[in-house]
């Protein structure tokens, strides 16, 4: 898709190279709604929460906002009262430049923990940025929020609500510190659909749970994870109040697709990742058990290094299931790579199954399906392999 | 210490290259007590349990044994009924060669999961092994049970019980799939101390919890973890019945030292490990919380890769604490590398602390101490860094 096609009525976006920590690349992004929009936020569950998370949470108490300002390079986490003041000053600078109350500014940061966020680049470059945001500036914003990401992440869905065309557009960044319960993951979504703030917040939570909370790169969660959704009502539909209505379902499908697509892009671009793997656990004795089993497999270092080695090491998958703390009878377990059954009744099926699976493992994307044979629950999580590059990237991140 | 010094009265040990899977190196080890000994076992908590674990557990119901047979190369896990029969046949061959009932034979295996254990090497080489075990064969046995270990692990402690000299000698293997709750970890301990089987079993559990259950390499637990302790009474002390007696304490100290030393050796020789790191959490609101916090830090991939990169990335340690699920106020957290304070009230202290810590990080062994400032509980776990070699080893393990 060309940059021109990434637009949402009533929104502008853009980015600038402010030199906050990176040199010669955009690192400050801005998203502005022409009018005050319904706003929803979902934040990290980590007890160590970055200053922008604390500030934005307080700004969202009314569930309305006009603008989102984001910097990459420095996370403004573990920076105490001074960090909170710097986040507040950033919001103040934006509020003045945009001409809105400070509580309508949402702030997010990503990057190194523990370093002070310099305010000079923000105050120097922000006014320029406010005047340069454009309808089709979303891809620039998606690039500016990258840290160790190798590609910008953007997705757009268009649909109809009561015969009114509407759009949902999202951008995201991820790469490392990615685990269920949100991660060093920022995602910003804009829609022109009209929806009540309460319904939007409920929808944000539910769809986050089906997308970003189903992915894992390394099992670590971050101090800065943030999803913001702004809905400015430019589509002209009657505002959605009830998520179970057909309009609610329609917006849910569009938003769900955007979030899941972005979540999968984050895993596929996980630090050092060479494989995107969909792990489905069927036959669980309950949803929580199926999810826990899938997450334990998806986070196992031994499974992830075997995936990197293109080794159909099903024994490690069984060993991970065995320590997951779920109901398990090894004799009942079936295991598939794509459609090929490799394990039946807890044992390798033999024959040419391993040869077929070896071919599948050479692909860059495939699925692992485990049937526990305990019940009817099914859950899927998305993960990547653990490569030499993951270690290289994270051994040298601050240098 | 020379090989000659590793002896325990009334025990013989040895090893042979049986060609089970490895070529040209010992892979079958045998430990024999001259008389039936009190025996204790601690096994993996993984729900997928290898055949030798299932068999040995049943043999230990009387808490007595004469001999331990161990193979490396193939784990005999996820091998169904046929695996159980092979473990039983191995025990039968040993029982006949040694001249003891089959239930006095304990069996352990380590290596690849899911492959059938060939019986021919066992039946061909076992009689030879029975006739070649020696008083000072322990180091040979320690070498034979290695998989990706790079050094054999052995430790001996001597003491006095009621003026009777006694010995506790242990061997172990580890390397990967190492986590709390026992791992792909085998350890065999022999003592000539006299102790009741019940007291020995209780002691084995308690001291395992203070040693092997405090270490982690990669957070994965295995299907085969096994600790056996044999106590043959050759020391001549009055048998210990009460662990709270001075004799009980004396044996506990000796056994505890052997197990903790072996546990630390396993971490230091973790797959690809270049750093041995002792992680202590003080000021926890309870023991369970302190332990959970220490384990979460010790298992964080981002912390472990930073350790490999010799990067004093304290923000990742705080982020790991934040997701540990323990009582936490970031403003109260202190963090030390060895004696150097790097973080106070959740923030870097600045000055030359980071320079000093950078020097500490270049050492091969150091401690990280976290004070949560919540209460008085303190726990320590032992971990290693996550290196490029860990990924290389585990991407290619089966090939």
- Sequence length of chain A is 399
> How close does chain A come to B374, measured CA to CA in Å?
14
In this predicted structure, the answer to whether residue A36 has a pLDDT above a threshold of 80 is: yes
pLDDT score of B219 more than 80: no
Contact criterion met (CB < 8 Å) for A387 and B390: no
Closest-CA residue to A157 (of A30, A76, A256): A256
CA-closest candidate to residue A32, choices A155, A110, A101, A135: A135
**Neighbouring C-alpha atoms within 13 Å toward the C-beta of A176:** 26
Number of DSSP helices (H) and strands (E) in chain A, helices first: 11, 15
Contact assignment for A176 to B302 by CB distance below 8 Å: yes
Q: Mean pLDDT over residues A234-245, rounded?
A: 92
Cα of A349 to nearest chain B Cα, Å: 11
Q: Given the structure tokens 């377990």, which residue do they identify?
A: A333
Q: Are A331 and A346 in contact (CB under 8 A)?
A: yes
B256: left (phi over 0), alpha (psi -120 to 50) or beta: alpha
Closest CA to A281 of A263, A293, A266: A293
In chain B the first and final C-alpha atoms are separated, in Å, by 35
d(CA B398, CA A148): 31
pLDDT-derived band at A94, boundaries 50, 70, 90 = very high
Instruction: Say yes or no to pLDDT of A397 above 60.
Output: no
Which percentage of chain A shows pLDDT scores above 70?
A: 95
Q: A245-250: list long-range contacts, CB under 8 Å, 24+ apart.
A: A247/A161, A247/A162, A248/A199, A248/A203, A250/A159, A250/A160, A250/A161
Distance, in Å, from the CA atom of B229 to the CA atom of B172, rounded to the nearest integer, reads: 12
Residue A181 has pLDDT above 60, yes or no: no
The whole-number average pLDDT for the span B196-207 is 89
Minimum distance, in Å, between the CA of residue B227 and any CA atom of chain A: 18
Interface touch B301/A219, C-beta < 8 Å: yes
Taking residues B121-146, report their average pLDDT: 94
- Beta-carbon contacts of A50 under 8 Å, excluding residues fewer than 6 positions away, are A44, A75, A76, A77, A78, A79, A83, A109, A113, A223, A224
Q: Contact B308/A222, CB-based, under 8 Å? A: no
Residues B37/B231, Cβ–Cβ less than 8 Å: yes
Closest CA to A97 of A63, A58, A66: A66
* Chain A residues lying within 8 Å of B275, measured CB to CB: none
pLDDT the model gives residue B179:
43
* Chain A partners within 8 Å of B345 (Cβ): 80
Chain-chain contact of B48 with A314 (C-beta, under 8 angstroms): no
Name the pLDDT band for A267 (thresholds 50, 70, 90). confident
Return d(Cα A215, Cα A223) in angstroms, integer.
17
Inter-chain residue contact A346 with B75, CB threshold 8 Å: no
Tell me, yes or no, if B184 is annotated catalytic: yes
Give the integer Cα–Cα distance in Å for A371 and A367.
13
- The pLDDT of residue A86 is 96
Helix H segments across chain B? 51-59, 80-98, 120-132, 138-144, 197-210, 246-268, 287-299, 301-308, 314-322, 353-361, 388-395
Task: Tell which of B301, B304, B335 to mutate to test the A interface (max A CBs under 10 Å).
Answer: B301
Question: B315 to chain A nearest CA, in Å?
Answer: 5
Which range scores top for mean pLDDT: A296-305, B59-68, B144-153, B180-189?
A: B59-68
Alpha helices in chain A (DSSP H): 51-59, 80-98, 120-132, 138-144, 197-210, 246-268, 287-299, 301-308, 314-322, 353-361, 388-395
Give the model's pLDDT for residue A222.
66
Minimal CA separation from B330 to chain A, in Å: 6
Instruction: Write down the mean pLDDT value for chain B.
Output: 88
Stronger pLDDT, B262 or A223, i.e. the higher one? B262
- Confidence band (pLDDT; 50, 70, 90) for A54? very high
B306-326 in b/e form (b: 16+ CB < 10 A) is bbbbbbbbbbbbbbbbbbbeb
* pLDDT band at residue A221 under the 50/70/90 scheme: low
Mean pLDDT throughout A112-133? 91
Residue, of A345 and A271, whose pLDDT is higher: A345
Gap from B298 CA to chain A (nearest CA, Å): 12
- pLDDT at residue number A265: 87
Higher-pLDDT residue of B392 and A104 is A104
Q: In Å, how far is A203's CA from the nearest CA of chain B? A: 25
Q: How far apart are CA A211 and CA A192, in angstroms?
A: 21
- State the smallest CA–CA distance between residue B205 and chain A in angstroms: 19
Rounded to whole angstroms, the Cα distance separating B152 from B174 reads 10
Mean pLDDT of chain A: 88
Bridge-based pairing state of the strands B377-384 and B276-284: antiparallel
Q: What is the pLDDT of residue B180?
A: 34
Distance CA B111, CA A124 (A): 61
Residue A182 has a pLDDT of: 36
What are the two backbone dihedrals, phi and then psi, of residue B16, each rounded to the nearest 5 degrees?
-145, 155
∠ CA(B200), CA(B203), CA(B209), 5° rounding? 140
Of B345, B346, B398, the CB nearest to A311: B398
- Express each pLDDT in A313-354 by its tens digit: 888 898 889 888 899 998 899 999 999 999 998 888 988 998
Cα–Cα dist B138/B29, whole Å: 9
Interchain pair B301, A305: CB under 8 A: no
Chain centroid, CA A181 distance in Å? 10
Give the model's pLDDT for residue B209. 80
Backbone angles phi and psi of A209, in degrees to 5: -65, -30
Predicted confidence (pLDDT) per residue in B362-386, tens digit: 999 999 999 999 999 999 988 888 8
CB B54 within 8 A of CB B182: no
Top residue of A218, A301, A324 to mutate, by most chain B CBs within 10 Å, is A301
- Residue of B7, B110, B147, B184 marked active site: B184
Whether residues B347 and A79 touch (CB distance < 8 A) is answered with yes
Residue A324, pLDDT score: 87
* Contact state of A321 with B47 under an 8 Å Cβ cutoff: yes
Q: What percent of chain A has pLDDT over 90?
A: 55
Chain A residues touching residue B330 (CB < 8 angstroms): 47-48, 78
Output DSSP code: residue A174.
-
Residues of chain B above pLDDT 90, percent: 55
CA–CA gap between residue B229 and residue B168 (Å, rounded):
10
Taking the C-alpha atoms of residue B306 and residue A299, their distance in angstroms, rounded to an integer, is 19
Over residues A146-165, the pLDDT tens digits come to 988 888 999 999 999 988 99
Helix (H) or strand (E) holding B378: strand B377-384
End-to-end C-alpha distance for chain A, whole angstroms: 35
Q: How many CB pairs under 8 A join A and B?
A: 199
pLDDT tier at B150, thresholds 50, 70, 90: confident
pTM of the model as a whole: 0.77
Interface test with A, best of B48, B80, B342, B347 (most A CBs within 10 A): B48
In 3D, which of A312, A334, A307 has the Cα closest to residue B115? A312
pLDDT of residue B368: 97
What secondary structure, in 3-state letters, does A148-171 show? CCCCCEEEEEEEEECCEEEEEEEE
Exposure class string for A64-91: b at 16+ Cβ within 10 A, else e: bbbbbbbbbbbbbbbbeeebbebbbebb
Out of A148, A184, A191, A221, the active site residue is A184
Contact A209, A30 (CB under 8 A): no
As a whole-number percent, the residues of chain B with pLDDT over 70 amount to 95
- Is the Cβ pair A322, B223 closer than 8 Å? yes
Tell me if ipTM is over 0.95.
Answer: no
Q: Do B395 and A48 touch (CB under 8 A)?
A: no
Distance CA A36, CA B315 (A): 35
Chain B interface disruption, residue of A225, A292, A317, A391, most B CBs within 10 A: A391
Q: Do B178 and B38 form a contact (C-beta atoms < 8 A)?
A: no
How is B164-231 classified by DSSP, letter by letter? EEEEEEEEEE-SSS--SS--S-EEEEEE---B-HHHHHHHHHHHHHHTGGGEESSS---S--EEEEEE
Q: Which of A46, A179, A345 is facing B322, going by the closest CB pair? A: A46
User: In chain B, which residues have their Cβ closer than 8 Å to the Cβ of A179?
Assistant: 323
Highest mean pLDDT among A269-283, A313-327, A376-390, B123-137 belongs to B123-137
Per-residue pLDDT, A67: 96
- Put simply, the answer to whether A46 touches B301 (Cβ < 8 Å) is no
Q: How far apart are CA B140 and CA B68, in angstroms?
A: 14
Taking CB atoms and an 8 Å cutoff, what residues of chain A touch B113?
Answer: 313, 315-316, 318-319
Chain B residues touching A78 at Cβ < 8 A: 314-315, 318, 330, 346-348
Question: Residue B4 pLDDT > 90, yes or no?
Answer: no
B interface mutation test: which of A177, A315, A326 has the most B CBs within 10 A? A315
pLDDT-derived band of residue B182, with 50, 70 and 90 as boundaries?
very low
Of A320, A390, A398, the CB nearest to B220: A320
Q: What domains appear along chain A, each with residue ranges and CATH number?
A: 3-266 (3.60.70.12), 276-395 (3.10.20.340)
DSSP B289-323: HHHHHHHHHHH-HHHHHHHHTT---HHHHHHHHHT
The helix-helix angle for A388-395 and B301-308 (nearest 10°) equals 70
The pLDDT confidence band at residue A211, using thresholds 50, 70 and 90, is confident
pLDDT at A244: 92
| DSSP tag of A311 | -
Q: Which is nearest to A50 in space by CA: A161, A185, A172?
A: A185
Q: What is the pLDDT of residue A176?
A: 60
> ∠ CA(A256), CA(A259), CA(A263), 5° rounding?
135
Task: Report the chain A residue with the minimal C-alpha distance to residue B323.
Answer: A46
- Identify the residue with better confidence: A339 or A222: A339
Q: Which of B176, B301, B306 sits opposite A218 (nearest CB)?
A: B301
CB contact under 8 A, B397 and A313: yes
In chain A, the residue whose alpha carbon lies closest to the alpha carbon of B82 is: A347
Is B319 in contact with A223 (Cβ distance < 8 A)? Answer: yes
Q: How long, in residues, is chain B?
A: 399
């Amino acid at each position: 898709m060309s940059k021109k096609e990434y637009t949402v009525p009533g929104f502008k976006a853009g980015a600038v190279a402010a030199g906050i920590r990176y040199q010669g690349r955009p690192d400050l992004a801005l998203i502005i709604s022409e009018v005050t929009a319904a706003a929803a936020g979902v934040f990290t569950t980590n007890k160590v929460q970055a200053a922008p998370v604390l500030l934005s949470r307080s700004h969202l108490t009314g569930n309305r906002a006009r603008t989102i300002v984001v910097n990459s390079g420095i996370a403004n986490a573990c920076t105490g009262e001074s960090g909170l003041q710097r986040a507040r000053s950033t919001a103040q600078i934006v509020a003045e430049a945009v001409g809105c109350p400070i509580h309508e500014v949402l702030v997010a940061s990503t990057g190194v923990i523990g370093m002070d966020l310099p305010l000079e680049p923000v105050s120097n470059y922000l006014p320029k940025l406010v005047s340069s945001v454009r309808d089709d500036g979303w891809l620039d914003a998606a690039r500016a929020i990258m840290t160790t990401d190798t590609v910008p992440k953007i997705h757009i869905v268009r649909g109809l609500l009561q015969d009114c065309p509407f759009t949902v557009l999202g951008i995201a960044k991820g790469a490392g510190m990615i685990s269920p319960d949100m991660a060093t993951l920022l995602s910003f979504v804009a829609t022109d659909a009209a929806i009540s703030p309460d319904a939007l917040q409920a929808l944000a939570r539910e769809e986050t749970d089906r997308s970003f909370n189903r992915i894992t790169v390394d099992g670590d969660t971050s101090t800065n994870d943030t999803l913001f959704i702004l809905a400015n009502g430019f589509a002209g539909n009657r505002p959605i109040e009830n998520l179970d209505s057909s309009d609610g379902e329609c917006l849910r499908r569009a938003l769900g697709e955007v979030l899941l697509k972005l979540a999968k892009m984050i895993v596929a671009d996980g630090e050092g990742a060479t494989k995107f793997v969909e792990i489905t656990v069927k036959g669980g004795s309950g949803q929580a058990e199926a999810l826990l089993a899938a997450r334990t497999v998806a986070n196992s270092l031994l499974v992830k290094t075997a995936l990197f080695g293109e080794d159909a090491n099903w024994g490690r998958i069984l060993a991970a299931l065995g320590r997951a703390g779920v109901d398990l009878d090894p004799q009942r377990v079936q295991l598939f790579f794509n459609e090929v059954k490799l394990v039946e009744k807890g044992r390798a099926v033999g024959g040419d199954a391993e040869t077929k699976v070896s071919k599948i493992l050479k692909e860059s994307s495939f699925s692992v399906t485990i049937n526990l044979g305990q019940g009817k629950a099914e859950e899927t999580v998305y993960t990547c392999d653990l490569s030499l590059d993951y270690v290289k990237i994270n051994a040298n991140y601050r240098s």
